[in-house]
Amino acid sequence: MQHVKMKRRVLVALSVVLALAGGILCIAAVASALFDRISESLDVSPQRLVYHTDHAAILRACREVLADPQAAGFPKTTKGYSMVSGSQSGMKPPAALPAVLRDLNFEFMDVEDDRATIFFGSGFGHWGYSTVPAQGNSQLELIPGLWFWSEDRLPRDSSKFPYYRTSKRILLGGVVALAVAIVLVIHSRRSATSWNTSRNMQ
């Protein structure tokens, strides 16, 4: 009898531990999914620039602008610097700007000496292209002569690191832990019922 009671206590204790672990894992899965949801929404524009844009065409257009900024619609340079606003800022980019750049829907673009930089984003953070390495920012050389830069982090390559993969794995672990806990509770109750029935028959 003592052995049966001890076994039941162990099963109940184990089921409680597994249920707690399963609950914690499910909460962690939800938190991970929310983080991925936020990251996914923030990465839309940077991912487009890094993984879904013709970088060679962008670089050619930047070099065309650098060769003659005024011909591309830039104001006359002041100490080698000039800037134009893009459609993301609510302005219409110059018609003389190469079409591949106009279609990027950038915030603004500036040229300074032999450097062209294209800005996207807002007051909460910027990212974009540059024809020279960007100092103090996260950056990735896309092709020789063209860099993607970001004031925050580089965008995730979703083909290699899919969103929600970690949260799904954590959720699966939580569901398994809860399922095992339920099975142990059922087994414990059946064992107790069987023992009580056997005892009453004696």
Q: Give the pLDDT of residue 2.
A: 54
With 60 as the cut, is the pLDDT of residue 194 above it?
no
Contacts of 70 (CB under 8 A, 6+ apart): 76, 77
Contacts of 93 (CB under 8 A, 6+ apart): 73, 84, 85, 86, 87, 101, 102, 106, 109
pLDDT band of residue 4 (cuts 50, 70, 90) is low
Share of the chain above pLDDT 70, in %: 83
Report the alpha-carbon distance of residue 147 to residue 132 in Å, rounded.
7
With 90 as the cut, is the pLDDT of residue 75 above it?
yes
pLDDT band of residue 191 (cuts 50, 70, 90) is low
Average pLDDT for the chain: 84
pLDDT tens for 146-157 read 999 998 888 877
pLDDT tens for 159-172 read 666 766 778 888 88
Evaluated on CA atoms 50, 54, 55, 60, the torsion sign reads negative
The identity of residue 70, as a single letter, is: Q
Report the alpha-carbon distance of residue 51 to residue 29 in Å, rounded.
28
pTM of the model: 0.68
pLDDT tens for 107-136 read 999 999 999 999 998 767 899 999 999 877
Under 8 Å between Cβ of 139 and 150: yes
Share of the chain above pLDDT 90, in %: 41
